[in-house]
Structure 1
Amino acid sequence: MLTIWGRKNSSNVMPVLWTADELGLTYDHKMVGGSFGGINTDTFKAMNPNMRVPVLQDGDFTLYESNAIVRHLARAHGQGSLLPDNLKEQAHADQWLDWHKTTLTGPMIDLFWRTVRCEPDQRNPDLIAQAKVATEKALALLDAHLAGRSFMVMDRLTIADIPLGTLIYRYYNIQVDHQDFKNIKAWYARLQDRPAYRKNVMIPFGTTLAEWDKLERSLV
Structure 2
Amino acid sequence: MTNNNALTVLGRSNSSNVQKVMWLLDEIEQPCLRVDMGGQFGGNKDADYLAKNPNGVVPTLIHEDVVVWESNTILRYLANHFRADGLYPADSVARSWVDRWMDWQLSSLGPANRDLFMRIIRTPADQRRQEAIDESRDRNAELFRLLDRFLERSKYLGGASFSIADIAVGPLAYRWLTLPVERPHYGNVQRWYDLLCERKAFRKHVTEIGLS
CA distance in 1, matches of 2:56, 2:135: 30
Displacement of 1:150 = 1.9
Where structure 2 has 5 or more consecutive residues not aligned to the other structure, the ranges are 1-5
Where structure 1 has 5 or more consecutive residues not aligned to the other structure, the ranges are 206-211, 213-220
Q: Which runs of 4+ in 1 moved over 4 A?
A: none
* Contact persistence 1:79–1:85 (CA under 8 A): no
User: Which residue in the other structure is 2:3 paired with?
Assistant: none
Tell me the SS of whatever aligns to 1:80. coil
Amino acid aligned to 2:183:
H
Tell me the SS of whatever aligns to 1:154. coil
> Given the alignment, which residue of 204, 207, 210 partners 1:204?
210
CA distance in 2, matches of 1:180, 1:39: 38
CA distance in 2, matches of 1:189, 1:79: 23
- What TM-score do the two structures reach when normalised by structure 1? 0.90
Tell me the SS of whatever aligns to 1:197. helix
User: Which residue in the other structure is 1:99 paired with?
Assistant: 104
Amino acid aligned to 2:196:
L
Aligned length: 206
1:44-76, Cα deviation, whole Å (9 max, x unpaired): 121112211100111111010001001111111
RMSD in angstroms over aligned alpha carbons? 1.1
Pair 1:74 & 2:46 matched: no
User: Which residue in the other structure is 1:16 paired with?
Assistant: 21
Q: How does 1:1-220 map to 2 (within 5 A)?
A: 1-202=6-207, 203-205=209-211, 212=212
CA distance in 1, matches of 2:83, 2:188: 26
Displacement of 1:80 = 2.1
* Contact persistence 2:61–2:67 (CA under 8 A): yes
- What TM-score do the two structures reach when normalised by structure 2? 0.93
CA distance in 1, matches of 2:17, 2:168: 8
* Contact persistence 2:97–2:159 (CA under 8 A): no
Displacement of 1:91 = 1.0
Q: Quick one: percent identity of the two aligned structures?
A: 35
